[in-house]
Structure 1
Amino acid sequence: MKTNVSPAKGDNNLVAYVACAGAAAGKARAAEFESCAALVEAGFKRGECKSGCCGIGDCIKVCKQDAMKLENGKIVIDAEKCDGCGDCAAEGVCPQHLIHMIPKDATNFIPCSSTEEDDELVRKTCGFGCIACGECERACPEGAVHIVDNHAVIDYDKCVGCVACMVKCKKKIIVDTIHDLTALKANVAFVKCSGDGRTSAKLKEMGIQTCQEAAKQDLKALGLCATGCLGQGACTAVCRYEAVKVVDGVAYVDPDKCVGCKDCTFACPQHLITIVPYKGQKMVACSSEDDCETKAKVCSTGCLFCEDCKSNCPNLAIYADGTHTIIDPEICEDCHVCQYVCPRNVIKEMEVPEYIFMQREALGIKEGE
């Protein structure tokens, strides 16, 4: 299995990768030591990962390309500067043997090298630690992932970047170059509909099972909202991160799991899904431009443009586009007045949790704690 390649000098097809999220190996004590080797020789204390990155930077000292730096106790590699020379991965540089030379076009990465057998101890020690559950190994259609010394390892000769391992990972620690779930993302998907589910129910009654087929129906003639969510799950089928679900006949995006990849936006035949800022922005979950009387007949949760939100906004951040309410994020100051006065609870807000979902799972934090 090829996980670490010994390159010829300056192999631009390879790049260095640190197989550790850099969260738990004696970071609080690192300043006491002159080198990573000295810290490893001194040994690790209870609650520290004995296999992790020391975060002192022995590898940085040997990098001639200035491609490595230390940020918040974590080694960060600039892939553009790295020329694949392998100096940092050479024997005797990283005492933990964490740096691997991998293909520069690789897309999936497992940032953990823990050899700990006790999965509960791994959970307590590091929120990003692999617990060797084997879900990724079983999910990989190419046989490219294996559990080695109690952590998952990718064989890049076989990996095709399908992200099956990433989706199945119980702790959501497997990342790729596009969607790093260990970092707070900037944008997420949002469904511009808060429908009451009657459209989905009627379509199922008619035997219609796909959004594409449903979109061809004369929904107005059926007494349904012609622009709302069809509830047949075209968006859920394409989401690789289990971030979109149909709840009570209407698609809902979990902003905690969504990575803003836009796959669902292309799948929706109603063009209801848009990409919005993750933090703080308020959105009106209704896309109907019908007159208010028609809206009231076909949906119990649609925006009727009663103007309560507009007239009560202290910053004049809300305006009308026909019979559709728009909130200007540049003016909105998050006072929440609009949400308080909305009689139909149509105005939604992206809320940023203290811990992202995979951190909660990894640390055993229950909802509401």
Structure 2
Amino acid sequence: MNTVMIITSMLVVAAVGIVVGFGLGIFGEKFKVEVDEKEAAVREALPGNNCGACGFAGCDAMAKAIASGQAAVNGCPVGGDGVAALIADIMGVQAEAADKKVAYVRCSGTCDATKAKYNYSGIKDCRMATVVPGAGDKACSVGCMGFGSCVQACEFDAIHVVNGVAVVDKDACKACGKCIDACPQKLIQLVPYKQDTFVRCVNKDKGPAVKAVCSNGCIGCTLCTKQCKFDAIHMDGGVAVIDYSKCKNCGLCAAVCPAKVIQHPKAEQLREAIAKKKAADAAKKKAELEAAKAAEAAEAPKTEA
């Protein structure tokens, strides 16, 4: 190969490179994707869990929605108020305080309370256990199976199985909702963080049927509905259900619940207060009756001997 051919080849390659480079430059400029600086900044502020709790496919979609005004700056439940404040600063708006929510497991069917139908030695997964006759080994077929599918789904170590029932650590929970999707019994729901009153049962059967499978279940006595002054608790079949938008967390429903299935931090104190009031009222009534009888006896005419 002579020198002329070598030089010619080099020139051809160089020319092709120049043409291709020039073409790529033109096409790159024409079809380039504009980067929204606000969107990029919002994406950087988001925690990056891609949990979907915000209602979007992931943090990228959420950032795009916020930057375009289609989502609120406080729309990320995982990030909370801190992330909302950062995004609000990026977007140049005021961040409104979001109503914090946490997951809650509506079941109190512990190993001590519910009976076992058989000894289960299969895969410790609630979703897999649903194919087993009776939906698990517990006598209550609608309660928590206790195998921990929700625990495996949680990325924040906020839910654990305690004595056969899943329990949420409300301070660690980010309300991402993954445990809700993982629960085949549909026992977990998001509730207001400030909520203190809960019905720990979903069994709609009548009282005797419930007690036959779980000593902690709701017996459908309706005492709670009669006690509530705010119309915040109603019966759904044989089980009480709380309307959190109306509930004032007074705890009176928990105090009168004979099954103690309604949870409230001051339930025991309220029960004692109610019992003392009933005792005082009974004593007062007894004293009034005795006083009335004594007065009648004093006013009665005495018969002469």
Q: So what's the TM-score if we normalise by structure 2?
A: 0.54
Unmatched runs of 5 consecutive residues or more in structure 2:
1-32, 49-58, 61-74, 83-97, 267-305
Q: Which residue of 2 aligns with 1:307?
A: 222
- Aligned pairs, how many? 194
Structure 1 residue 330 and structure 2 residue 268: aligned? no
Structure 1 residue 218 and structure 2 residue 133: aligned? yes
CA shift digits 1:342-368 (9 cap, x unpaired): 2333223599xxxxxxxxxxxxxxxxx
- Deviation, 1:296, is 0.0
Corresponding residue SS for 1:296: helix
- Deviation, 1:106, is 3.6
Contact 1:283 1:349 (8 Å CA) reproduced: yes
CA shift digits 1:184-207 (9 cap, x unpaired): 861111111111226998489320
Q: Which residue of 2 aligns with 1:195?
A: 109
Structure 1 residue 180 and structure 2 residue 95: aligned? no
Contact 1:196 1:300 (8 Å CA) reproduced: no
Structure 1 residue 105 and structure 2 residue 43: aligned? yes
Structure having the larger proportion of residues in strand? 1
Structure 1 residue 285 and structure 2 residue 200: aligned? yes
Corresponding residue SS for 1:190: strand
- Residue 335 to residue 103, structure 1, CA distance change in 2 (3 Å): closer
Q: Which residue of 2 aligns with 1:45?
A: none
Q: Which residue of 2 aligns with 1:207?
A: 121
Q: Which residue of 2 aligns with 1:266?
A: 181
CA shift digits 1:219-267 (9 cap, x unpaired): 2896700100000000000101111100000011111111110100000
- Residue 199 to residue 340, structure 1, CA distance change in 2 (3 Å): closer
Percent of residue pairs identical: 32
Moved more, 296-305 or 282-291: 282-291
- Deviation, 1:316, is 3.2
Contact 1:292 1:304 (8 Å CA) reproduced: yes
Q: Which amino acid is the alignment partner of residue 271 of structure 1? A: K
Task: Give every structure 1 segment of 4 or more consecutive aligned residues whose post-TM-superposition deviation is greater than 6 Å.
Answer: 220-223
- Residue 104 to residue 319, structure 1, CA distance change in 2 (3 Å): closer
Q: Which residue of 1 aligns with 2:210?
A: 295
Contact 2:153 2:182 (8 Å CA) reproduced: yes
CA shift digits 1:145-184 (9 cap, x unpaired): xxxxxxxxxxxxxxx99xxxxxxxxxxxxxx965125658
CA shift digits 1:70-115 (9 cap, x unpaired): xxxxxxxxx46xxxxxxxxxxxxxxxxxxxxx765346669xxxxx
Question: Matches of 1:204 and 1:198 in 2, distance apart?
Answer: 15
Q: Which residue of 2 aligns with 1:231?
A: 146
Contact 2:210 2:217 (8 Å CA) reproduced: yes
Q: Which amino acid is the alignment partner of residue 232 of structure 1? A: F
Q: CA RMSD in A?
A: 3.5
Question: Matches of 1:177 and 1:314 in 2, distance apart?
Answer: 35
Within-5 A mapping of 1:56-75: none
Question: Matches of 1:178 and 1:108 in 2, distance apart?
Answer: 10
- Deviation, 1:304, is 0.8
- Deviation, 1:334, is 2.2
Question: Matches of 1:316 and 1:273 in 2, distance apart?
Answer: 23
Question: Matches of 1:301 and 1:215 in 2, distance apart?
Answer: 22
Question: Matches of 2:135 and 2:42 in 1, distance apart?
Answer: 52
- Deviation, 1:305, is 1.4
- Residue 200 to residue 330, structure 1, CA distance change in 2 (3 Å): closer
Unmatched runs of 5 consecutive residues or more in structure 1:
1-10, 16-78, 81-101, 111-159, 162-175, 352-369
CA shift digits 1:258-290 (9 cap, x unpaired): 111010000011111111111226321111112
User: Highest CA radius of gyration, 1 or 2?
Assistant: 2
Question: Matches of 1:191 and 1:291 in 2, distance apart?
Answer: 21
Structure having the larger proportion of residues in helix? 2
Question: Matches of 1:279 and 1:245 in 2, distance apart?
Answer: 21
Corresponding residue SS for 1:179: coil
Q: Which amino acid is the alignment partner of residue 226 of structure 2? A: S
Contact 1:317 1:327 (8 Å CA) reproduced: yes
Within-5 A mapping of 1:34-45: none
Contact 1:203 1:214 (8 Å CA) reproduced: no
Q: Which amino acid is the alignment partner of residue 214 of structure 2? A: C
Q: Which amino acid is the alignment partner of residue 43 of structure 2? A: D
Q: 2:161 aligns with which of 246, 261, 279?
A: 246
Structure 1 residue 317 and structure 2 residue 216: aligned? no
